[in-house]
């Protein structure tokens, strides 16, 4: 097998000038992999700063309501900053400190990875620049607000479609210029090697904990594990805890958006819209047209709205080790409602995709079977989208009143 490839996927398609930087990163990553003290330092940091180990919650009401398998929820929502992203960024923070670099950059679409990176940079005392498409800056003001307040510089990228892929190009340009003191914090299990493997390794803390917890609570490994798939980092994280158990079925759930037939979705491993391609430094299944131009994607969950997918997951899909499904926006809102009402738990819109598939399948399983849903994050951040989707009249009134208030104030000043 070629270095950095998973089956036919992965690799490192990078500009010549970055070869040394990648070689250094590869070396630093190898060193921490072989150093048990590093992993312990990481576990301690996450325990003291981010609420790890996160609980595995038995969803008794939801299980009873559906009348099938016992449903357990891995609570990544209880991480600092509200999602599994903290695992990856804090891990890379420790690595950056070891490499002696003082500055981090990242690109972000929905802004969640930007907030997580800015948080990490504040904690470690790194200089931080976040690249974000101008369109996304306008759409994601609350996240931009927090990045700036945390001390990061947010650069709106005005090239191309002014979204995520343009931000990625700009981040690479920065890295080429500043590679001596700068590390590029990749946000998911994609990109050139060693990022897919390294990000999955940091996220494997989720699967390691979940394996131990389910054996304690259920007395066995689960029958199925569900995770939503954007770039694939939370899925890889929990799957890694169960990959070696052939009896454990692994299910990745992609964004079905308005339905696969509408073209408005982000399903790469389900349906036949995606095709093999090389972009953003690696080879995977991309949503692209015949000329290799990336297609517009859609999902109610901003974090799943991505054109590529982890090369590791693409390979596990080829091998039949991971089954892929897609959940539509509408199904996501139903699953979210049911979970809130039965358990008092608010999953992020991204995570709700995993709930959709679990809720579909649990009733036909038996009472002594168990499943785990990886709840990658909490839904509070989605209040604007969810309230809008439910067409909540009091929420509308609230927004209009606040806007009026601002208008009057700015008129006076």
As annotated, the active-site residues are 85, 107, 376
Binding-site member from 350, 355, 361, 373 for ligand PLP (CB under 6 A): 350
Q: Of the listed pieces 46-54, 171-179, 325-333, 348-356, which binds ligand PLP according to CB under 6 A?
A: 348-356
Q: Tell me how far apart the alpha carbons of residues 319 and 326 are, in angstroms, rounded to a whole number.
A: 19
Q: Which residue has the tokens 């079925």?
A: 249
CA distances from 401 to 170, 381, 386, 398, 406 (A): 38, 21, 19, 5, 9
| Nearest CB to ligand PLP, comparing residues 111 and 222 | 111
| Nearest CB to ligand PLP, comparing residues 162 and 268 | 268
Which residues in 214-226 are b (16+ Cβ under 10 Å) and which e?
Answer: beeebeebbbbbb
> How distant is the alpha carbon of residue 129 from its chain centre?
20
The CB-of-229 to ligand PLP minimum distance in angstroms stands at 5
Q: Of the listed pieces 226-234, 271-279, 292-300, 364-372, which binds ligand PLP according to CB under 6 A?
A: 226-234
Q: Of the listed pieces 26-34, 134-142, 207-215, 230-238, which binds ligand PLP according to CB under 6 A?
A: 230-238
The CB-of-236 to ligand PLP minimum distance in angstroms stands at 8
The CB-of-235 to ligand PLP minimum distance in angstroms stands at 6
Q: Of the listed pieces 66-74, 155-163, 229-237, 285-293, which binds ligand PLP according to CB under 6 A?
A: 229-237
Site residue total, ligand PLP (CB under 6 A): 19
Q: Give, as ranges, the residues between 152 and 211 that touch ligand PLP (CB under 6 A).
A: 188
Q: Give, as ranges, the residues between 352 and 411 that touch ligand PLP (CB under 6 A).
A: 376-377
CA 264, 266, 270, 272 torsion-angle sign: positive
Kindly state the helix (H) or strand (E) to which residue 103 belongs, with its residue range.
strand 103-107
| Nearest CB to ligand PLP, comparing residues 10 and 303 | 303
Q: Tell me how far apart the alpha carbons of residues 356 and 60 are, in angstroms, rounded to a whole number.
A: 17
Sheet with 182-184, strands from edge to edge, namely 153-157, 127-133, 103-107, 182-184
- E strands, 267-353, are 275-279, 282-286, 322-328
Tell whether residue 85 is a contact of ligand PLP (CB under 6 A).
yes
Binding-site member from 191, 230, 241, 256 for ligand PLP (CB under 6 A): 230
Q: Give, as ranges, the residues between 256 and 275 that touch ligand PLP (CB under 6 A).
A: none
Chain position whose Cβ is nearest to ligand PLP: 377
Neighbouring residues of 217: CB distance < 8 A, sequence distance ≥ 6: 56, 58, 72
Q: Tell me how far apart the alpha carbons of residues 155 and 170 are, in angstroms, rounded to a whole number.
A: 9
Chain residues that interact with ligand PLP, rule: CB under 6 A: 83, 85, 112, 188, 228-235, 303-304, 348, 350-351, 376-377
């Amino acid at each position: 097998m070629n270095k950095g490839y998973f089956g036919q996927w992965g690799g490192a398609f990078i500009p010549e000038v970055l070869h040394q930087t990648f070689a250094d990163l590869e070396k630093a990553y190898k060193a921490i992999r072989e150093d048990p003290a590093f992993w312990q330092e990481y576990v301690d940091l996450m325990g003291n700063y981010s609420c790890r180990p996160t609980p595995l919650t038995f969803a008794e009401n939801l299980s009873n309501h559906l009348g099938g398998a016992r449903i357990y929820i891995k609570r990544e929502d209880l991480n600092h900053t509200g999602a599994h992203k903290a695992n990856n960024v804090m891990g890379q923070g420790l690595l950056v400190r070891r490499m002696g670099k003082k500055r981090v950059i990242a690109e972000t679409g929905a802004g969640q990875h930007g907030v997580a990176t800015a948080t990490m940079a504040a904690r470690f005392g790194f200089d931080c620049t976040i690249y974000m498409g101008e369109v996304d800056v306008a759409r994601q003001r609350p996240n931009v607000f927090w990045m700036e307040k945390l001390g990061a510089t947010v650069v709106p990228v005005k090239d191309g479609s002014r979204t995520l892929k343009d931000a990625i190009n700009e981040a690479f340009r920065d890295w080429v210029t500043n590679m001596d003191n700068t590390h590029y914090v990749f946000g998911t299990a994609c990109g050139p090697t060693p990022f897919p493997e390294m990000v999955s390794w940091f996220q494997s803390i989720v699967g390691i904990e979940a394996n131990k917890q389910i054996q304690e609570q259920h007395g066995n490994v689960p029958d199925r594990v569900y995770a939503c798939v954007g770039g694939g980092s939370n899925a890889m994280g929990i799957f890694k805890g169960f990959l070696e158990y052939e009896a454990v079925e692994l299910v990745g759930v992609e964004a079905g958006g308005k339905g696969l037939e509408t073209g408005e979705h982000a399903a790469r491993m389900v349906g036949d819209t995606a095709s093999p391609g090389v972009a953003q430094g690696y080879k995977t299944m991309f949503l692209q047209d015949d000329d290799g131009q990336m297609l517009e994607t859609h999902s109610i969950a901003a974090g799943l709205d991505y054109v590529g997918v982890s090369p590791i997951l693409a390979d596990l899909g080829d091998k039949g080790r991971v089954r892929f499904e897609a959940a539509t926006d509408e199904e996501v809102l139903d699953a979210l409602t049911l979970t809130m009402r039965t358990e008092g738990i608010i999953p992020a819109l991204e995570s709700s995709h995993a709930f959709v598939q679990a809720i579909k399948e649990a009733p036909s399983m038996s009472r002594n079977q168990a499943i785990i849903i990886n709840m990658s994050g909490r839904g509070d951040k989605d209040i604007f989208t969810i309230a809008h989707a439910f067409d909540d009249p009091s929420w509308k009134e609230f927004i209009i009143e606040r806007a009026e208030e601002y208008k009057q104030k700015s008129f006076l000043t």
